[in-house]
Structure 1
Amino acid sequence: MSKASSSPEIPVRRIDRILAFMALGLTVLSIVCFFAVILARPAGVTDFSAGLWPTVVLLPLVALPIAFLLIVALLVINFVRRSRANKGS
């Protein structure tokens, strides 16, 4: 049996949800684009410089670092809020 936590529950704010869903969305989109590029080679797509392919190729290079930064920002916000809540109690 563990002891019940004496600290009050910290509510989830709107910015937390926004950052979490943005990071998740960018990560999923990047992974889908990554696999699309991997599967396009054997399917016979040889011209990645035309149409939507340049965006599909470059999206993982941009979106994954942005998703990582969003996760770091979310962690920093949560650590700061928890430390302020612990100092107040």
Structure 2
Amino acid sequence: MPIYEFRCTRCGHIQEILTTGSQGQLSIVCEQCRGEEMERVLSRVSYVMGRSASSGADSPRVTTKSCSPGNSCTTLELPGHSR
């Protein structure tokens, strides 16, 4: 069962929705403002297997920030090719 994140285009609130393949058409409503105009957002990975002993450029970096009142969003930057 995949978990998807959606952002309300009206108030900006981000919420997670657990879905199953048997649900068919799913109506999503914002938990904050009850708006029905939601857009799916790309989720970032928050899991790392193993960890380097050094904290140099080859190590993953975790950044946490407030994304809405009472909620925090965590970003994981993995080493590798950058644009």
The normalised TM-score by structure 2 is: 0.25
Q: Which has the higher strand share?
A: 2
Q: Which has the higher contact order (CA 8 A, sep 6+)?
A: 1
TM value normalised by structure 1: 0.24
